[in-house]
Amino acid sequence: MSDLASNTCEACRIDAPLVSDNEASLLIKEIDGWDVIDEGVKKLKKEFSFSNYSDSVDFSNKVADMAEQEDHHPQIILEWGKVTVIWWSHKIKGLHKNDFICAAKTNNISKN
């Protein structure tokens, strides 16, 4: 388990600082397979592959359960054999450490 995955999300306030580019370049190294994308707002994105639809649904539900526990909710795109998860902090319109924590937890879910 990465150090990030052992953390819990903190309540994100509207004035919470965005993760700097330097911080993001260090944190991204702790979450294998994730990319920072910029859609006008920086986000973390990763696609997970599965051998069937049922496994894709199961993974999506586990990520949703974890997100609810952390009170931090991603975009989850469910397809046959593939789930795309995108994390960002809506209140601050960008990346917060919470996003990296939840990405690490998502990776752990994919390994179970």
Please indicate, yes or no, if residue 109 is contained in any of the structural domains: yes
Domain span at residue 80 reads: 37-112
Which pLDDT score is estimated for 1? Answer: 43
Please indicate, yes or no, if residue 1 is contained in any of the structural domains: no
Please indicate, yes or no, if residue 94 is contained in any of the structural domains: yes
From CA 40, how far away is CA 59, in angstroms rounded?
28
CATH of residue 69: 3.30.1360.20
CA-CA distances (angstroms) from residue 34 to 13, 16, 52, 65? 25, 23, 22, 20
Please indicate, yes or no, if residue 104 is contained in any of the structural domains: yes
From CA 46, how far away is CA 34, in angstroms rounded?
5
- The predicted model scores a pTM of 0.93
Please indicate, yes or no, if residue 11 is contained in any of the structural domains: no
Please indicate, yes or no, if residue 29 is contained in any of the structural domains: no
Please indicate, yes or no, if residue 28 is contained in any of the structural domains: no
Please indicate, yes or no, if residue 9 is contained in any of the structural domains: no
The H or E element that residue 49 is part of is strand 42-49
Q: Which residues contact 98 (CB under 8 A, 6 or more apart)?
A: 9, 10, 12, 70, 72, 89
Which pLDDT score is estimated for 4? Answer: 87
pLDDT digit of tens for each residue in the chain (112 aa)?
A: 458 888 888 777 888 889 999 999 999 999 999 999 999 999 999 999 999 999 999 999 999 999 999 999 999 999 999 999 999 999 999 999 999 999 999 999 999 8
Which pLDDT score is estimated for 2? Answer: 55
Which pLDDT score is estimated for 16? Answer: 87
Q: Hey, what's the torsion of the CAs at 74, 27, 23, 60, to 10 degrees?
A: 0
Number of domains in the chain: 1
